[in-house]
Structure 1
């Protein structure tokens, strides 16, 4: 009930904030703003961007818009054929576009390391934008070859490792990290079948493989259990931890929620029910171009002072307080250290959390 009440209050506040922002021009984007609209006001011709999952959905729209603005774009795709086709499609639309696709399996640490090496070699310098966009939703009830629950590794650990490997290139270019999260962070524990506040410690991290079964949400709606919300919560906390560790003038980090966007990952979802949770006058679902606007905004336009924030598309690319599911700011250093261990890295520098 507490999670449901928080969610109701969040959306009530969101509706009020939207009305207030409509009378001002300081919002990061407007209701109808697209990723192309964001790029149109920027000069990114000398920028390098890496977009995971850039072969479809919002990731493709992010890659397309950044390429349209003149950036060099590296797409990470689990399906090499699909990724190559997406890159060619962008080039066909934008003659002279600088887009390449590389194979990336976020469920394999070895593949992530190979991808990071290929990207750094191909760009030959700094990376200005890393958009950690790719993800999977369905509970496959299995572990990866690295020994982690597959959704947790693909959505969180794979992106954590990639970010760490690319940090030197990001620092070199005064880069941005954008973690694409989800408002399912608000029901993450219940959605996995875990107790409310399950992230108050590390008992459920890394998450175990959970068998396929249904869970009943606070509103009585039954849906398949998934660790998706927990993995997305970790992306939010990862951005907050990066903001504490890194000088924001060298590396800024953001987590974003695009709202409900009509992409392949939403197939089979209850569209009417999900859209009712978005306060008017927001369109629902957002188109992929509209959803992608918040990623492009954080990657190329947001003030570095917002580093560490959770930026909401529903709130017109403005900060939103996430539901932490028991996780506290004091846990950020330990989460970072544990995550380094989970992905096979060591703490090479003294802690910067002090």
Structure 2
């Protein structure tokens, strides 16, 4: 679909979308667009105050009252399990959007390195636990948001907790590579077992959001902020690849979407090719098995 925009999104009345990290940035823009087309949207957010403000904004701007806040902390498997247990109907769209970037070395409530724990393991667990709700929908899509940073990633299976060495950007790159490996392995399993849901991925290119807020390096933060504001596209444009993957007709499982401009930095969404390491099925299978062991989430019926 050439020149895709939010106006290209079909009517979504009667469908339910779950968007993680929907209180700001790409997640907020994604939720706004889906709500504007009639979807019931659950904002899966950690911060109640910011989440309530986002609900109020989306309802005011779209006139859609079927928008609600559901608290979710991806850094806590207990929170992820509570969220999934409270799901009260089918999920047509699961948008795995939330993330942290280049933070100081921290751990989740379950002891995982924060970026790997939130960006990958939290979404892995959420998707597996919501699989029954996804199966209830007629044509569910799971869209996981990666990044151009995946190109520099490798999975350090020998030190996933970063106890030996912690480099913030290397760990961010790893988490974004994990998003793609998860998506492609998930789709392989869905296809093998004849399942209706499909798994796809997207990246926003070079987009100015508040993702850098987790850093504690003021000088770096100032430089990056200026760079993003100068060269990056806004959040509404950055959300278009995610929205395309979630709503455009003809999207197939295992595809990856990003901006079509030079270097995939900005522009309308198009199918893009991931880095070679994202396409390694052996690494993907190993990551899947490790993730299932660490989270205790098994994706029933998918082996």
Q: Give the shorter-chain TM-score range.
A: 0.7 to 0.9
Q: TM-score, normalised by structure 2?
A: 0.85
Superposed CA offset, 1:181-212 (max 9, x none):
00011122xxxxxxxxx44x7334x3424766
- Answering whether residue 132 of structure 2 is matched by residue 168 of structure 1, we say yes
After TM superposition, list the pairs within 5 Å mapping 1:133-282 onto structure 2: 133-173=97-137, 174-188=139-153, 198-199=154-155, 202-204=157-159, 206-209=160-163, 225-247=169-191, 250-266=196-212, 268-270=222-224
Alignment of structure 1 residues 14-25 onto 2, 5 Å: none
State the distance in 1 between where 2:35 and 2:13 align. Answer: 9
Per-residue CA deviations over 1:153-199 (Å, capped at 9, x if unaligned) read 011100000000111111221210111100011122xxxxxxxxx44
Counting only pairs closer than 5 Å after superposition, residues 1-354 of structure 1 correspond to structure 2 as 26-27=1-2, 30=3, 34=5, 36-39=6-9, 42-118=10-86, 120-121=87-88, 125-173=89-137, 174-188=139-153, 198-199=154-155, 202-204=157-159, 206-209=160-163, 225-247=169-191, 250-266=196-212, 268-270=222-224, 284-305=231-252, 307-314=253-260, 316-325=268-277, 328-346=280-298, 348-349=300-301, 351=303
Q: TM-score, normalised by structure 1?
A: 0.74
**Pairwise CA RMSD of aligned residues?**
2.5
Q: Which secondary structure does the structure 2 equivalent of 1:179 belong to?
A: strand
- Per the alignment, do residues 88 and 333 of structure 1 end up closer, same or farther by CA in structure 2, a change over 3 Å counting? same
Q: Distance in 2 between matches of 1:212 and 1:332?
A: 23
Number of positions where the alignment pairs a residue of Structure 1 with one of Structure 2: 286
CA spacing shift, 1:63–1:350, aligned 2, 3 Å: closer
Given that 1:160 and 1:339 are in contact with CA atoms closer than 8 Å, whether structure 2 keeps it comes out as: yes
Give yes or no for contact 1:137–1:226 (8 Å, CA) kept in 2: no
How far does the alpha carbon of each residue in 1:65-105 deviate from its partner, in whole angstroms, 9 at most, with x for none?
Answer: 11110000000111011101110111122224310011111
- Rounded Cα–Cα distance in structure 2 between residues aligned with 1:262 and 1:331: 31
1-structure distance, mates of 2:43, 2:299: 28
Bigger mean CA offset, 174-183 vs 294-303: 294-303
Aligned residue for 1:259, secondary structure, equals coil
Structure showing greater radius of gyration is: 1
2:184, 2:279 within 8 Å by CA — same for their partners in 1?
no
Gap change, CA 1:158 and 1:324, over 3 Å in 2: farther
Aligned equivalents of 1:101 and 1:244: distance in 2? 32
**SS of the counterpart of 1:105?**
coil
Task: Tell me the alpha carbon deviations over residues 26-51 of structure 1, each in whole angstroms, 9 at most, x when there is no partner.
Answer: 54xx3xx54x2232xx0111110000
Tell me, in whole angstroms, the C-alpha distance in 1 between the residues paired with 2:228 and 2:62. Answer: 35
Give the direction of change, closer, same or farther, for the CA distance of 1:250–1:346 in structure 2 (3 Å limit): closer
Name the SS of the counterpart of 2:122 in structure 1: helix
Instruction: Provide the rounded CA distance (Å) in 1 between the counterparts of 2:278 and 2:99.
Output: 23
The separation in 2 between residues aligned to 1:47 and 1:238, in whole angstroms, is: 25
Give the superposition deviation at 1:304. 4.0
Residue 298 to residue 350, structure 1, CA distance change in 2 (3 Å): closer
SS at match of 2:23: coil
